[in-house]
């Protein structure tokens, strides 16, 4: 559902942003760029774990699909139509 997709996107972006800020600050304090990368990668892994599987919190508002319609005898099949002719330019 669309609300679940929006929630997943907000969670994903929030975790990435927070981990990037924490990673930058920690890497700046320790003067080790590697720690910044590790913390951002850990945030990415956590956000993937929370947003990629179809958790029930993302499926609270299911979409209502239209019912299946059978083709009747009075309806034309797609192959029965005449091809459209385009005007010459």
Q: Which domain holds residue 21?
A: 2-56
Residue 87 lies in a domain: no
In a domain, residue 40? The reply is yes
Residue 88 lies in a domain: no
Residues 10-44 have pLDDT tens digits of 999 999 999 999 999 999 999 999 999 999 999 99
Q: For residue 73, tell me if it sits in a domain.
A: no
pLDDT at 76 over 60: no
CA distances 7 to 60, 67, 75, Å, are 11, 28, 42
- Report if residue 63 sits inside a domain: no
As for how many domains the chain has, the answer is 1
**Is residue 36 assigned to a domain?**
yes
Q: Across all residues in the chain, what is the average pLDDT?
A: 87
Q: Helix 33-51 and helix 2-30: axis angle, to 10°?
A: 160
Residue 75 in any domain: the answer is: no
How far apart, in Å, do the first and last CA atoms of the chain sit? 46
- Inside any domain, residue 69: no
């Amino acid at each position: 559902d669309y609300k679940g997709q929006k929630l997943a996107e907000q969670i994903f972006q929030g975790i990435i942003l927070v981990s990037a800020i924490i990673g930058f600050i920690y890497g700046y304090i320790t003067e080790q760029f590697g720690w910044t990368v590790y913390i951002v990668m850990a945030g990415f892994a956590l956000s993937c774990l929370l947003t990629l599987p179809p958790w029930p919190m993302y499926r609270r508002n299911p979409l209502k699909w239209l019912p299946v319609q059978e083709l009747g005898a009075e309806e034309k099949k797609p192959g029965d139509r005449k091809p459209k002719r385009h005007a010459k330019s």
